[in-house]
Amino acid sequence: MDVVLLAAAAAVAALQHFHLLQEEDLDQVAIERIRNMNRLVRPPHPMVHRLTMDLHEPKELLEVVNSDPELAGRVLRTVNSAAFALTTPISSVTHAISYLGTALVKDIVTQFLISGSMEIRSADQQQAYTRLWLASYVASTVGLLLAQDLRLERASELSTQALLCYLGDLSILFTHPELAEVYLNQPSLFVRVNHQQQLLQTNAALIGRSLASHWELPAQVADGLRTSLVPMSTDPATLSALDLDVKHVTLCYTACRIGDLVSFHGVKDVADIDFKTSEGLEFFYLDEHLKAAGIDSIYKKLKEAALRRKLNQFIAHLST
């Protein structure tokens, strides 16, 4: 039998034997474990709640950022860093919003405020933490640009959702620092999730969903986290039968996998991305999901000169 067919058969078998835990699968021990994890993570800055609400107007974002001088300073330092490779320095928050857009500045602020809830204790933990934030930052930016390019509604909301999809992983890393080596040594999302379920009897999606609810973030954020891993182990026919915004869920999952490819697999050029040939069971159904959702034009868009240059430049500076 052809090697490719053998590999595909092995992948199907592995996915058929894998069960992605859902909330109804959790026993009382797992539920209490998640609650304890939530209690260990400090509540975020109150502004996080407002940032994850329907905040889309530049004026509203400006009011939020300028209400905290430290926050305003952090935004300016971030946008003037090498990651954005700006030829002209940004001199004010107003300038940052007008130049980079409300959605991107909002995600910069959200990331900064959430990071203050988690204390890093070791070098390995810091390295894994940096890797997760890099993945989330790339996912957020990719999600925003692709959603805008595809002319999808709620592009800003999708961008924030992609950023927060790593919240459960960050909680695991903070409350179980001994698991830092898993994030450092295992690039496969499927293997990491399988490890989480065996060790913690839950997974990052459910932990993130619970933490978002504990923080009283909007219901759509918590629901988005709950379903963030569903495309990994669900075929397109099954996914389409669920009560989900399939296009939104698929694009958010795709943006996060691109974030993973950059942060965990070292991808430097988005034009090289082809989910059909990507290793890792988390990619097995993705090409079919994109076709079913009608957004498989993503491959073409990642190769378009303007978008490719923008993303690659962002990745190059962010990875240094």
User: Per the domain annotation, does 299 fall within a domain?
Assistant: yes
User: Per the domain annotation, does 65 fall within a domain?
Assistant: no
pLDDT of residue 279: 81
Query: Is-contact 56 102, C-beta < 8 A?
Result: yes
User: Per the domain annotation, does 125 fall within a domain?
Assistant: yes
Q: How far apart are the first and last CA of the chain?
A: 44
User: Cβ contacts of residue 212 below 8 Å, gap of 6+?
Assistant: 164, 167, 221, 222, 225
Assign residue 142 the CATH number of its domain. Answer: 1.10.3210
Could you report the per-residue pLDDT of 294-303, keeping only the tens digit for each?
A: 999 999 999 9
Average pLDDT over residues 1-14: 69
pTM of the model: 0.92
pLDDT of residue 119: 83
User: Per the domain annotation, does 76 fall within a domain?
Assistant: no
Candidate from 117-131, 190-204, 282-296 with smallest mean pLDDT: 117-131
The first and second tokens of residue 282, run together, are: 């988390």
16: containing domain: 3-43+117-318
pLDDT band at 147 (very low <50, low <70, confident <90, very high): very high
Comparing 15 with 142, the larger pLDDT belongs to 142
Could you report the per-residue pLDDT of 87-107, keeping only the tens digit for each?
A: 788 999 999 888 888 888 888
Domain count, the chain: 1
* Distance set, CA 25 to CA 31, 56, 98, 162, 201 (Å): 10, 36, 46, 25, 9
Could you report the per-residue pLDDT of 194-218, keeping only the tens digit for each?
A: 999 999 999 999 999 999 999 999 9
* Segments in 176-218 forming alpha helices (H): 180-185, 189-200, 204-214
